[in-house]
Homo-oligomer: A and B are copies of this chain.
Amino acid sequence: MTTLKTIAEEAGVSVMTVSRVVNDIPSRVSDAKRRQIKDIIERTGYVPNSSARSLSSRFSKLIAIILPYSYNALDYPHNAQMVGYISRFIQDMDYTPLVYQVKDYYEVTKRLRSWKVDGAIFLGMFDSDMKNIKEDNRIPLVFTDSYSTMRQVTNVGLDDYKGGELAAEYLLNMGHRNVAFVGEASHESPVVRARLQGFASVLRDAGVKLPVDNLLPDIPSQSEIRTLCGGDEPVTAFFAHADITAIQLMKELRAADLDIPKDCSVMGFDNLQISELCYPALTTIGQNIEKKASIATNTLFQHITNPENPAQNVVLDVHLVERESVRRIPV
């Protein structure tokens, strides 16, 4: 195998000289030698050993992307896209991405230390473990979509509250007065809760009720749908906390013989690709996943480059994407 030593021997120089050429350390080697060494590198296809570099220097040029452990963490298109973008951005910066699915906070620490990663980006909810994670790993860490109240944490998230508000405003404008929310808005999922809170606040200000019965932690069954959408004051629109949920809901609504949007309107949140392709095309609150991924990656690199950089909380905007799944109700 080709190593610095092999090349040094062949070129009749020291290992250090080769190292300097490999790392492009400016004007410390004569041009002639430089050429000769580069030729050998080219010919032998020499690739520096990253483990050796990591061991001898302070940097591994490794970055971890951390997801909660699940059966298939990339099933959910939002996560898949985030990982796809982030891993590409990391590579474009000449770093190597490590994708980890972790079960608990102990595993986070173990993984991060094992390969001495230079930084990590967290997807999904690690709010409760964040304190421990930060204490155990004194490297740059970027969280996404986190709602931890911890200070000094760098997070890239969304204005979920505003998203909820936009959804409510739109449904009200379209004449809906009896609406329901689909999503588990517990302490476990602060993102969903923020969306619901924004949604509920606008309804409240408009004097429109959102009864507890219309807060659905799960996709309603067909009989529940019939109850909700039947009776004196039928629900005319559902706001689902995520596009995937909205699409599943549409399927159930159709199974209960309801036409969308004629009998019943549906809104989602995320603006995934499929939301444009599904039928009817989904009206939703759009977020820019690529931008979220790029800001998360860039912020991480800022912290790697300059460890003195203060923690920052970035909140990205959301916007209404109007398509065909919401009907205008005549007054």
A residues apposed to B, CB below 8 Å: 45, 47-52, 54-55, 60, 69, 71-75, 77, 80-81, 83-85, 87-88, 91, 96-101, 109-111, 113-116, 136, 247-248, 250-251, 254, 273-274, 277-279, 281, 290
Pick from B45, B47, B52, B97: contact of A55, CB below 8 A: B52
Whether A49 contacts B55 by the Cβ 8 Å rule is yes
Residues of B near A73 (CB, < 8 A) are 84, 88
Query: In the assembled complex, which residues on chain B have CB atoms less than 8 Å from the CB atom of A101?
Result: 87-88, 91
Q: Which residues of B contact A74 (CB under 8 A)?
A: 74, 80-81, 83-84
* 10 examples of A-B residue contacts, CB within 8 angstroms: A47-B110, A49-B116, A50-B116, A69-B88, A75-B80, A75-B273, A98-B98, A247-B278, A254-B279, A274-B278
The chain B residue with its CB closest to the CB of A91 is B101
- CA–CA, A54 to B55, complex, Å? 10
**CA of A77 to CA of B78 in the docked complex: distance in angstroms?**
11
A160 to B24, CA, bound (A): 48
Chain B residues, CB < 8 A from A48: 114
Residues of chain B within 8 A of A248, CB atoms compared: 277
